[in-house]
Amino acid sequence: MKIFPAIDIKDKKCVRLVKGDFDNKTEYEMSPIEQAGKYSDHGFKNLHIVDLDGALTGETINLDIIQEIVNKFNLKIEIGGGIRNFESIQKYTDAGVEKIILGSAAIKDKNFLKEACKKFPDKIALGLDAKDGYLSVSGWKENSDQLTLDYLKEVNDFGASRLIYTDINRDGMKQSPNFEETLKVADISNCPVIISGGVSSIDDIKKAKELNNKNIEGIIVGKAIYDGDIKLDELVKEVDA
């Protein structure tokens, strides 16, 4: 199983939100580049980054930071947050990012997702952020009327190379991921699935590995690292060689 330590960037700083609420934000001392270095030094190979400024503006606000992380460290990066056009995808691809996560733009415009997957083969990850079974969009500020599983069935053959499923009610709450719903998504998804939202302890990582679903590729860990509930030395031991 791949483990993706997370970095959320806002105003050039590492932050964590609770349930995606920009008013419920914790800022951390370490810069995104220092934090990426810390993950790299511990032996992690994958990194999940969310550009929260991008989510709010639809622009690649922190491209310079992402570029520096790519240049300095041997990390496979997936990046999300406000990526709404081919130009942004191209910028991140040119910067050396492994996967570009499309969320709101893909949900609001299925054709954009389809064309992006064609234009950037093996580069597009689909981010499905759900609340009570329904997809949320626009930095989680809007709920859509689309059921997660119905939407996935519609776009399953478009060619996304990865799917990241987040239960918003669990995100930043450290109450364990929603394994039940993630398994439902994994059972029908045509591409590998990443578990996201709510990891609280090393036991959640162990449980994810025990799910024994061949379609589950990895898990994202964020707030539990920053708050010290999970030690990086302990976490990196759970990475599959």
Supply φ then ψ for residue 231, to 5 degrees: -85, 140
Q: Does residue 64 have an active-site annotation?
A: no
Supply φ then ψ for residue 48, to 5 degrees: -105, 120
Residue of 8, 51, 171, 204 with catalytic role = 8
Q: Does residue 129 have an active-site annotation?
A: yes
Cα 215 to Cα 32: distance, rounded to the nearest angstrom: 30
Helix (H, G, I), strand (E, B) or coil at 16: strand
Closest C-alpha among 56, 46, 69 to residue 10: 56
- Structure-token match 């893909």, residue found: 106
Residue of 51, 129, 167, 171 with catalytic role = 129
124, 116 contact by CB (below 8 A): yes
Could you list the active site residues?
8, 129
